[in-house]
Amino acid sequence: MEFDGTMSPRVFTLEEATQLIPKLEQYLDELLLKKKKMQKRHDQLLVLDLIVGEKAQDYQSHDGKDYLEKSAELESLILSFEEDIMKINQTGCFLRDLEKGVVDLFYVRDKQLVYLCWKKGEKKIHYYHDLDDGDRHRRPL
């Protein structure tokens, strides 16, 4: 299945949605890894700032260069993280909860628009919920 790269929501068949699972698994794995790296870089910057204080702003010093390098790495990770979220959006899916790995997809069930609700680790999509409900209200298809 090819996607044209737009961010328009789309209505999926169950088969189309199921075909996306490997790609969604990959995107979520990458996002979780990047989130962990971002948190580590952020923590390193906080510690460095606490230890060296204003010296962190002196970019000629060793500490300042280290601070600048870690800041640039964090910024790069943030941009990459945002790009990965855009990749999910471009498929027509909605990332609802990164930590739980919840992704919703539009689907028509009994002539009503609902969300198919998939969680990371599930091999198939077995659940849906109404548009106004979250994943706590998942019901079997």
User: What does the pLDDT read at residue 8?
Assistant: 63
User: What does the pLDDT read at residue 121?
Assistant: 96
Give residue 99's identity as a one-letter amino acid code.
E
| Burial of residue 113, with CB atoms counted within 10 A of its CB: 0-12 exposed, 13-18 middle, 19 or more buried | exposed
Q: Which residues of the chain have pLDDT under 70?
A: 1-8, 55-56
User: What does the pLDDT read at residue 97?
Assistant: 95
Domains of the chain: which residue ranges?
12-140
Q: What's CA 114's distance to the chain center, in Å? A: 21
The single-letter DSSP state of residue 10 is -
- Model's pTM, two decimal places? 0.81
Structure tokens at 139: 């019901």
Cα–Cα distance between 25 and 41 in angstroms, integer? 24
User: What does the pLDDT read at residue 5?
Assistant: 47
Cα–Cα distance between 119 and 117 in angstroms, integer? 7
The answer for residues whose C-beta is within 8 angstroms of residue 138's C-beta and 6 or more apart is: 117, 127, 128, 129
User: What does the pLDDT read at residue 52?
Assistant: 79
User: What does the pLDDT read at residue 31?
Assistant: 97
